[in-house]
Amino acid sequence: MVEKLDRESATPLYIQLADVIRAKIQRGDWQPDQRIPSENELNQLYGISRMTARQVLARLVDEGLLFRVQGKGTFVSRSKISTRSPSYQGIREQLEQQGYATDTELLGQRLEPASTRVAQALDIPTGTPTFIVRRLRRVDGTPISVHESHVPESLAPGVLERDLVAEQLCTVLDRDFGLRMTKVLETLETAAASANDAKLLAVHEGTPILQLEQRISSPAGKPFEFTRIRFRGDMVRLEFTYDV
């Protein structure tokens, strides 16, 4: 059934059509990743100009309800998962509290010399022995984030002997090594998915992703963990709350 636009209404046609499309998505008439009618098809269905149809689709793309694929058309976006920064609460706990089924895959863990970038973040000399732990997190079977954490060996000897799949790294560091998170310096930016990240996150290489970096310090002000998390931007929305 095609809803009719009210041409006698004071509400502009482009707003009426936008509301129609939003309603179809909310009702589930159009499912995530489903291709919707083109500008020409909307023109025929609703008797509007291509310019009006283009304006409506552009507005809904900006809202995040739709996305475009060059040469293929316009599609319904997936509903994004809202999470707060992991410094408030672990991502896994947040997702499970929202009713999502999660699983974590350990991609690798090893001891290696700290790179210049990692050494700067942890305030240690370049080449200092540092543990690196890489994990992939999935929600309902779909990959959403890659986590890469660096911890100086001297601060958490034997941490790789712990079960870092069943437990959060921050929990292990606090409970077993007395490294309590007190101060967190975060940076959030967009990045292009590398070939490796694209494969892990099931996206195309070069796809925009969200990259969150955290420098975590103890009550004494000593940095003990540097973590880089890369999120699928089409599935995750990060929320930040401030008291001012």
Task: Round to whole Å and give the CA distance between 24 and 47.
Answer: 18
Tell me what pLDDT residue 88 has.
60
Are the C-beta atoms of residues 230 and 208 closer than 8 Å to each other?
A: no
State pTM to two decimals: 0.72
Residue type, 125: P
> What's 42's domain CATH number?
1.10.10.10
What's the whole-number mean pLDDT along residues 166-172? 89
Looking at the structure, tell me whether residues 57 and 103 fall in a common domain.
no
3-state SS, residue 40: helix
What's the whole-number mean pLDDT along residues 101-127? 94
Are the C-beta atoms of residues 107 and 134 closer than 8 Å to each other?
A: yes
pLDDT at 1 over 60: no
Domain boundary among 76, 96, 113: 76
Tell me what pLDDT residue 197 has.
93
Which percentage of the chain shows pLDDT scores above 70? 93
Lowest-confidence region among 66-80, 110-124, 142-156: 66-80
pLDDT at 123 over 80: yes
Q: Which residues are registered as beta bridge partners of 230?
A: 146, 211
> What's 176's domain CATH number?
3.40.1410.10
Looking at the structure, tell me whether residues 108 and 140 fall in a common domain.
yes
Are the C-beta atoms of residues 93 and 198 closer than 8 Å to each other?
A: no
Q: Is residue 5, in this structure, part of any structural domain at all?
A: no
Looking at the structure, tell me whether residues 58 and 99 fall in a common domain.
no
Top-ranked range on mean pLDDT: pick from 24-28, 103-107, 124-128, 201-205:
124-128
Domain boundary among 76, 98, 113: 76
Please tell me which residue, 175 or 77, carries the higher pLDDT value: 175
Grade residue 2 by pLDDT with cuts at 50, 70 and 90.
low
Which of 161, 180, 167 is closest to 109 using CA atoms? Answer: 161
Tell me what pLDDT residue 159 has.
95
Domain boundary among 54, 76, 98: 76
Q: Is residue 228, in this structure, part of any structural domain at all?
A: yes
Tell me what pLDDT residue 244 has.
67
Q: Is 149 left (phi over 0), alpha (psi -120 to 50) or beta?
A: beta
Looking at the structure, tell me whether residues 150 and 125 fall in a common domain.
yes
Structure token digits, residue 46: 């609703």
Looking at the structure, tell me whether residues 150 and 208 fall in a common domain.
yes
Tell me what pLDDT residue 70 has.
82
Structure token digits, residue 234: 């089409």
Task: Round to whole Å and give the CA distance between 35 and 40.
Answer: 14
Tell me what pLDDT residue 240 has.
72
Q: Is residue 112, in this structure, part of any structural domain at all?
A: yes
Please tell me which residue, 243 or 18, carries the higher pLDDT value: 18
Looking at the structure, tell me whether residues 101 and 183 fall in a common domain.
yes
Question: What value does the mean pLDDT of the chain take?
Answer: 88
Looking at the structure, tell me whether residues 105 and 60 fall in a common domain.
no
Looking at the structure, tell me whether residues 34 and 58 fall in a common domain.
yes
Looking at the structure, tell me whether residues 87 and 100 fall in a common domain.
yes
Tell me what pLDDT residue 110 has.
96
Under 8 Å CB-to-CB from 19, ≥6 apart: which residues? none
Residue 121 DSSP one-character state: H
Domain that residue 27 falls in: 13-76
Task: Round to whole Å and give the CA distance between 7 and 108.
Answer: 61
Pairing, β 129-139 against β 102-113:
antiparallel
Task: Round to whole Å and give the CA distance between 85 and 83.
Answer: 7
Q: How many domains would you assign to the chain?
A: 2
47-95 pLDDT tens trace: 888 899 999 999 998 887 888 888 888 998 877 776 766 666 667 777 7
Q: What is the DSSP string of 162-208?
A: S-TTTS-HHHHHHHHH-----EEEEEEEEEEPPHHHHHHHTS-TT-E
Task: Round to whole Å and give the CA distance between 190 and 194.
Answer: 12
Residue identified by tokens 């499309």 is 21
Tell me what pLDDT residue 158 has.
93
